Amino acid sequence: MTVKNHVLKNLYRDSVALMRLSREMEGLENVEQATAIMGTDNNKDLLAQAGLLADIGKSATPNDLIVAFNLTPPGLEETVMASVQERLTAARQATSGGTDYRPRSMEGAIQSLPQANLAMISVPGEYAAREAKKALDLGLNVLLFSDNVPLEDEVDLKQQAANLGLLMMGPDCGTAIINGAPLGFANAVTSGRVGLVSASGSGLQHVTCLLAEAGEGISHALGVGGRDLSAEVNGAMMLEGLRALQDDSATEIIVLISKPPAQSARDRVLHAASKSGKHCVIAFLGEQGHAASGGNIHMEQTLEGAALRVLTLLGRQMPGWAYIDRMTSQNIEALTAAPNSEHRSIRGLYSGGTLCYESLFILRGLGHKAGADLEGVPIGSDSVIDMGDDRYTVGRPHPMIDFRARCEALIQEAGDPEVGVVLLDVILGYGSHPDPASELVPALLEAQDIAQNSGRRLACVVSLCGSQDDPQNLEQQQQALTDTGAVVVHSNALAARIASAISRGDTSALPGGDSLA
């Protein structure tokens, strides 16, 4: 083993960059330990204690950066240092924002790209409305990624867009697929005959993935922001989106997705859908009542139900994700027969807000006293939380990108003797973590070890949302997660039902290899 130090005089990098450099160095071949740390006396003592201080590092001053690592076997110092230099240079370029031309105003952007017809805006909420209005004034459709935009601004912007015949997607819209181009968090799905308008990002991703897996492609998938069906906004953009899909010759079936809407918005949307002349599958999640069809309107309560209804209308066979295969079934039976049958509360740790909401109402519908908070859960009760909520994302990236918060919560819940089932979602696609399994697998294994060491068995149920063409490789992700002993299914509703069955030690309500329909 060789210890190497490299001292970079008067070099300042921010804390995040230094942390990232340390982690990336530790991932290099032949590097056992590595760190990048300022050369203070206390830090040099720290390096010495870790066996990472070489003679050259001892000469560093508090304003110098020490890059320290050890190698097994020795002899590859130059390769590692070249890699470190490359990363430091990349960090500097990232800091400078690159050298490509970047227009400094909306007008400048239009001049440099006259064919542009959509502006994607991601600025702090207080400035977002002004920028969106500017874009609409220039005749551009808008995808507004920003959140914290005042409701009255949203109403005004959507009114203006509707008057101009433009789409105003958002605010807080993170997902769309337009003419096959994914925007924000979206999956790689083929073009096809199903068009969607959704007030939910993860709901949109889930349904497009379920359809893609069954062989059905997407014409357009339009996000409209979570407040579009509130009483104030009154479905303004869901109606515009519906109208656009109605006029679109490539779209044969329209899917509309939202959490329960305000009554007035619901009435407007249902009225417009009934006049659209196309089959409309409407999933107002968790709405009281039963799935129903009348004329061209088909009401569903779950995302899975909406996807199944579309496939039925298109004359498709029952898709694979609607079944529990033999191996998964055996795994569920084994988990159900585990010794801790009296203590099997469910903890749902979600990154997708709508998937979380869907699981919550499915569990409640099955008679679980499920809460939506981790704190103060009564003994014997269940909880399903949205870790993408502001409470859990402050100071960190969204849990679809950064799994640390969920992994930490998973380990913590594994130590709770009342917890028997952990329910998770993993969302693949553009914008998401490049390899979720690499983060989750160690945590899943550790969580199960913790439970086992206290004489329990922890069941982990994963709802995996992704398409075959996503950059993360759906198959590899599924295999890696399944290899941990987790139950992995693609339907979020099915995952919630499986969690319920294991929690109760009774799988009789599950399809057991038959169709769910």
Q: Which of 74, 124, 150, 442 binds another protein (CB under 8 A)?
A: 124
Q: How far is the CB of 123 from another protein (least distance, A)?
A: 4
Q: Is residue 38 near another protein by the rule CB under 8 A?
A: yes
Q: How far is the CB of 292 from another protein (least distance, A)?
A: 30
The dihedral through the CA atoms of 193, 250, 258, 142 has a sign that is positive
Residue placing its CB nearer to another protein in the complex, 3 or 270: 3
Residue placing its CB nearer to another protein in the complex, 415 or 513: 415
Q: Which of 5, 35, 202, 329 binds another protein (CB under 8 A)?
A: 35
Q: Is residue 13 near another protein by the rule CB under 8 A?
A: yes
Q: Which of 248, 287, 389, 435 binds another protein (CB under 8 A)?
A: 248
Alpha helices by DSSP H, 314-435: 326-336, 353-365, 390-393, 404-414
Q: How far is the CB of 41 from another protein (least distance, A)?
A: 5
Q: Is residue 37 near another protein by the rule CB under 8 A?
A: yes
- The rounded distance, in Å, linking the Cα atoms of 175 and 417 is 38
Q: HEC states along 150-186?
A: CHHHHHHHHHHHHHHCCCEECCCCCEEEECCEEEECE
Q: Which stretch binds another protein (CB under 8 A): 35-43, 321-329, 458-466, 508-516?
A: 35-43
Q: Tokens in use for 293?
A: 């069809």
Q: Which of residues 176-195 bind another protein (CB under 8 A)?
A: 178-179, 181, 183
Give Cα 440 to chain centroid, integer Å.
14
Backbone phi, psi, residue 114, to 5°: -65, -20
Residue placing its CB nearer to another protein in the complex, 99 or 288: 99
- The rounded distance, in Å, linking the Cα atoms of 256 and 263 is 16
Residue placing its CB nearer to another protein in the complex, 241 or 353: 241
Q: Is residue 127 near another protein by the rule CB under 8 A?
A: yes
Residue placing its CB nearer to another protein in the complex, 294 or 395: 395
Helix (H, G, I), strand (E, B) or coil at 252: coil
Q: Which of residues 346-405 bind another protein (CB under 8 A)?
A: 374-375, 391-392, 394-396, 404-405
Q: Is residue 119 near another protein by the rule CB under 8 A?
A: yes
Please tell me the count of residues contacting another protein according to CB under 8 A. 77
Cβ atoms < 10 Å from Cβ of 216:
22
Q: Tokens in use for 141?
A: 């459709």
Q: Which of 8, 30, 58, 131 binds another protein (CB under 8 A)?
A: 131
Q: Which stretch binds another protein (CB under 8 A): 114-122, 266-274, 298-306, 359-367?
A: 114-122
Residue placing its CB nearer to another protein in the complex, 185 or 392: 392
Q: Which of residues 48-107 bind another protein (CB under 8 A)?
A: 50, 62-63, 94-97, 102-106
Radius of gyration of the chain (CA): 26
Name the residue among 179, 187, 191, 183 with its Cα closest to residue 474.
Answer: 187
From the number of C-beta atoms within 10 Å of its C-beta (0-12, 13-18, 19+), residue 163 rates as: exposed
The three-point CA angle 471-476-482 to 5° equals 135
Q: How far is the CB of 393 from another protein (least distance, A)?
A: 9
Residues 177, 205 contacting (CB under 8 angstroms): no
Cβ atoms < 10 Å from Cβ of 297:
16
Q: Which of 88, 167, 257, 441 binds another protein (CB under 8 A)?
A: 167
Q: How far is the CB of 112 from another protein (least distance, A)?
A: 9
Q: Which of 118, 155, 338, 366 binds another protein (CB under 8 A)?
A: 118
Distances 146 to 11, 360, 437 between C-alpha atoms, Å = 34, 27, 29
